[in-house]
Structure 1
């Protein structure tokens, strides 16, 4: 069966030639597994690619890239497929699906791990924790390691060990012309610099090597729930603690609606609350003193902060973030002034659905000590990252929920420099991408883009446009 694309028609013989060069499989629109293969975690993106190439290794990725180039197809690259902005799928083009690529090799002596790009953080943590090691990973364990790392990588180890991308020591990349390159501080150093914060602009990353750190198996972590009536006090007291917290402690304030969980009183279910989440990434007994001030930010409704396994903390939020719901994220780096806290609280009281939230991530520590010029991630002096989430179980009124998130972001971003975190942003908005990198950093990213993807083959991302496309 021939397949129509935005650029023309792919005949049976053409597709058969592609398949002959693969160890993986090609999924067509008329195949039984097509709807499952095209689905992404974020249900707000319902796209119909012309082909899905399920790659089993780097050779398959090379073949898929060469095929896409020869047929002038739009390319989407899929890893964990959370796809906040829908970049891991497309209409009429080709999806290069890396999810079958699940290899993980841990070197405990060197404290290094090499993982293929289809690995999720749950997969990686399972392997590295066997040796008592970890690297900063996603807050939801089903998140893919690749896209998360390329955009920066904010997680529970951020203040102790920096971003995920700060711990990237090398990456294997298939470039737009089908070459395979290793990017590290010695080989392709400019590409290596750009991969750490510049997103998926420069090629298909097929494997990543990380520096690991001793973490766990037990950590002091969990959550404390406060009533919305005390929200201003909780935020103010949390802000007062920011500069006093040790690097081992990373916290997030989640302004949300209480779900019907058994540890919450029934009368709290469905009401707005403020949830303090945190992890002390050191000796749990030593963390008690660091966590103590967090227990008195207000009058706790529930206090579930205590010793847990690192992997349990990494997957604690998974049940609340199931696949298929409609999601829109947007974000801003802010200074938590009184005016900023007032804005956050006011917008919290207008959340359009029970699962719509505002997250305030405490930065600093190891994250802030990375030299600004060392990576493409450029907001090292920011104190707080605010993530605005519109989420609903289906498409009903979702456009209005997105409008709420955009308006909220606009008001909150006024308390910062206008920069967003590219992983927490559901728009492919050129102006916001441009505002998120200082001029010199953006110009350097363009030079790397010119060198490795001058035709912008890889443009389904927070796009750095090459000079020829500017």
Structure 2
């Protein structure tokens, strides 16, 4: 059946199969419903099935499969290449499944598959708890977790998948299983970094840790100081205590607090800090920032963890033009300093950026074969992002990101965090991301999804 246009009777049958609404092209909410975080993606699904619970997901999978339709899955809608929507496919939309149940005794959270990080952070913060997951509250828990998940707490508590205890999954045959270290351990292994290839996760059980008020900081230097800052940063951070996380970034200073007016709208390089140790030790932990040369601005303050997680929400809201690509790095080479300096000084728009997220310390002490995430020897997960609100600048920001990414390739480890793979990078990039885990993942894919129903993702093809 051609999935581009569905007959009215097919839409009616969809509506009868699920409790949630089915939104077709004639529905008044269709154009709003098909919008995702990245406005560079403009796709027209044949229908959007908004699922209210696991039963809806099971019925949706059965219907789409049996009708020979193409399937895509949307959680938080933050997919950079827009993998959550496909022209002419049916989107299973988990966004109504936004709920979090925290058990303070076991320090665990049961999280609905459509939840965003802000939902998790809000619910767990009430109990003085948190888990490492991203840097923006609007990111979907599902996509982030299944790709591996890193954020402000990664050096202290590992990747998100290192804190995943169980997952409720709807498989390609429409059945429902709970995967954990004891049940369906092969599936559980694959889910921890293998993306959305193996099924639709309707809920996650995550380990939480004592985190309430953290030390937040930001230090910036003029962009022409990039080589000096990176020389210092590459030596300082890997030797820092696990309590200190700091991601390097390129930025145009926003015109607002906490930045002083004299540096507003200036190009800078800097580090965003998160300190989970004793708050009295925050300034001592960051005393070495002057070793990179006097910063243009250095700011620290205690902050509730959900506040840190939501700081970037207004700066980079939904609806911007985005193109991103990533790399893993085990070092910041001398040669790459010139690359960072050159592209930083020629950044095309105020919101375009590069981030280097630490994935060492606690994350690096997990054995590489314990999860599908294969780069436990990496120190940084980097992303180059071309960003602007103006669609007329879409090609400009994309080309800058592609050129920057390619210039860094010789200085990288050869793969990328799967959630940072950009549109059009190809199957070889997926293979390089999983390294020698790819064969095992392909075998597990063949077990649970032999016909590759779940292929609207960074696809792992079933072994055969």
Shorter-normalised TM-score: what interval? over 0.9
Partner of 1:153: 149
Q: Does residue 188 in structure 1 map to residue 184 in structure 2?
A: yes
* Aligned 8 A contact 2:154 2:358 in 1: no
Q: Does residue 136 in structure 1 map to residue 132 in structure 2?
A: yes
CA distance in 2: counterparts of 1:75 and 1:122, whole angstroms: 27
CA distance in 2: counterparts of 1:330 and 1:83, whole angstroms: 12
Q: What secondary structure does 2:314 align onto?
A: helix
Which residue among 69, 86, 108 is the counterpart of 1:112?
A: 108
Partner of 1:89: 85
Residues 63/295 of structure 1: CA separation in 2 closer, same or farther (3 Å cut): farther
Partner of 2:413: 417
Partner of 1:288: 283
* Aligned 8 A contact 2:248 2:270 in 1: yes
- TM-superposed CA distance for 1:466, in Å, is 1.2
Matches within 5 A, 1:162-241: 162-216=158-212, 218-241=213-236
* Aligned 8 A contact 2:166 2:205 in 1: yes
Which residue among 315, 328, 339 is the counterpart of 2:310?
A: 315
CA distance in 1: counterparts of 2:216 and 2:257, whole angstroms: 19
Matches within 5 A, 1:252-291: 252-291=247-286
Query: Any idea what the Cα deviations from partners look like across 1:27-58, whole Å, max 9, x if unmatched?
Result: 11111111111100110111111110111000
CA distance in 1: counterparts of 2:341 and 2:358, whole angstroms: 17
- TM-superposed CA distance for 1:269, in Å, is 2.9
Matches within 5 A, 1:14-33: 14-33=10-29
Q: Does residue 327 in structure 1 map to residue 314 in structure 2?
A: no
Q: Does residue 435 in structure 1 map to residue 432 in structure 2?
A: yes
Q: Does residue 123 in structure 1 map to residue 112 in structure 2?
A: no
Partner of 1:389: 385
- TM-superposed CA distance for 1:296, in Å, is 4.6
Partner of 1:355: 351
CA distance in 1: counterparts of 2:282 and 2:264, whole angstroms: 30
Q: Which moved more, 1:144-153 or 1:411-420?
A: 411-420
* Aligned 8 A contact 1:135 1:212 in 2: yes
CA distance in 1: counterparts of 2:62 and 2:385, whole angstroms: 37
- TM-superposed CA distance for 1:265, in Å, is 4.1
CA distance in 2: counterparts of 1:102 and 1:266, whole angstroms: 39
- TM-superposed CA distance for 1:102, in Å, is 1.4
Which residue among 358, 372, 379 is the counterpart of 2:375?
A: 379
Query: Any idea what the Cα deviations from partners look like across 1:395-431, whole Å, max 9, x if unmatched?
Result: 2131232122112111112112211111122225211
CA distance in 2: counterparts of 1:321 and 1:118, whole angstroms: 21
Which residue among 40, 63, 69 is the counterpart of 1:44?
A: 40
- TM-superposed CA distance for 1:245, in Å, is 0.5
RMSD: 1.5
Which residues of structure 1 form unaligned runs of 5+? none
How does the TM-score come out when normalised to structure 2?
0.96
Query: Any idea what the Cα deviations from partners look like across 1:176-223, whole Å, max 9, x if unmatched?
Result: 11010111001110110011111011111110000110011x111121
* Aligned 8 A contact 2:17 2:60 in 1: no
Query: Any idea what the Cα deviations from partners look like across 1:411-468, whole Å, max 9, x if unmatched?
Result: 11211221111112222521111111222x1000000110111111111111101135
- TM-superposed CA distance for 1:309, in Å, is 1.0
Q: Which moved more, 1:389-398 or 1:78-87?
A: 389-398
* Aligned 8 A contact 2:164 2:206 in 1: yes
Which residues of structure 2 form unaligned runs of 5+? none
How does the TM-score come out when normalised to structure 1?
0.95
Q: Which moved more, 1:423-432 or 1:98-107?
A: 423-432
